[in-house]
Amino acid sequence: MEKTSCEYINDFLYFIVKPGDGEALTYCSGVNISRFTPLTSGKHRLGQNIVMKGLQSLNLELRSYILSLGAEPKTIRGGRCDGVNIRSYDDLWNSEALSIEHVPEDFRAAEVVRFAVKNFLRIVLPQCVPPSEIPEEPLDPIGLQAWLYSRCKT
C-alpha cells in the first residue's frame, strides 16, 4: 500500500490524503467560501452555496469511488483533520473528512486526490463561469489558483 501523502492545495481549496490511524488513510478537503464568493455571488439562494454543495456532492461521489477501489470510506465526526493547518482564519471555509480503511495494496492516494479535484471542478465551475472558459485539463494547484483569481476579477 502506498502510504505517502498526496496534497492539492491553494488559496481556494485543498484535497489531501495522508496516513491515518493504523493502516487507514485520512482524506481531508476544504473550500474557501470567501475566495469563491466573487464567482458564486448571485448564482444561488441563501443557504445553497454552490461550493459548499459541490463539496458535499463530491463527498458522495468520492465514497463510491473509494469503494470501487476496494477500500472502505468512514465518516470522521466533526469533519476536520488533525494536523492540517491549511485554512486561513480570516476566511470562511467548509471542510469534509473521511477515514479510508481496508486499503488494498494497489491503492494510490494520488488517484483519490486527482479524482476529488477533477470532480469538484466538474460540479462547481459550470455554475460559475461559461463552459467555454473552463480549462479542459485539471491545472496544477497554483495554475488553478491563478485561473480562479483571474475569473474573480472579470
Q: Is residue 1, in this structure, part of any structural domain at all? A: no
CA–CA distance, 149 with 123 (Å, rounded to integer): 19
How many domains does the structure of the chain reveal? 1
The reply to whether 58 falls in a domain is yes
CA dihedral 132, 136, 141, 144 (to 10 degrees): -10
Domain of 96 in residue numbering reads as: 6-152
pLDDT of 1 reads 43
pLDDT digits (tens, 9 = 90+) for 79-116: 567 666 666 667 888 888 999 999 998 899 999 999 99
Q: Residue 148 domain-assigned?
A: yes
Q: pLDDT band at residue 17, thresholds of 50, 70 and 90?
A: very high
In tens, the pLDDT along 52-85 reads: 899 999 999 999 999 999 999 999 876 567 666 6
Distance separating the N- and C-terminal Cα atoms of the chain: 45
Q: Is residue 102 part of a domain?
A: yes
pTM, entire model: 0.89
Higher per-residue pLDDT: 52 or 3: 52
How confident is residue 148, by pLDDT bands cut at 50, 70 and 90? very high
What percentage of residues in the chain have a pLDDT greater than 90?
54
- Residues whose CB falls within 8 Å of the CB of residue 95, separated by 6 or more in sequence, listed in order: 28, 29, 30, 31, 55, 79, 80, 81, 87
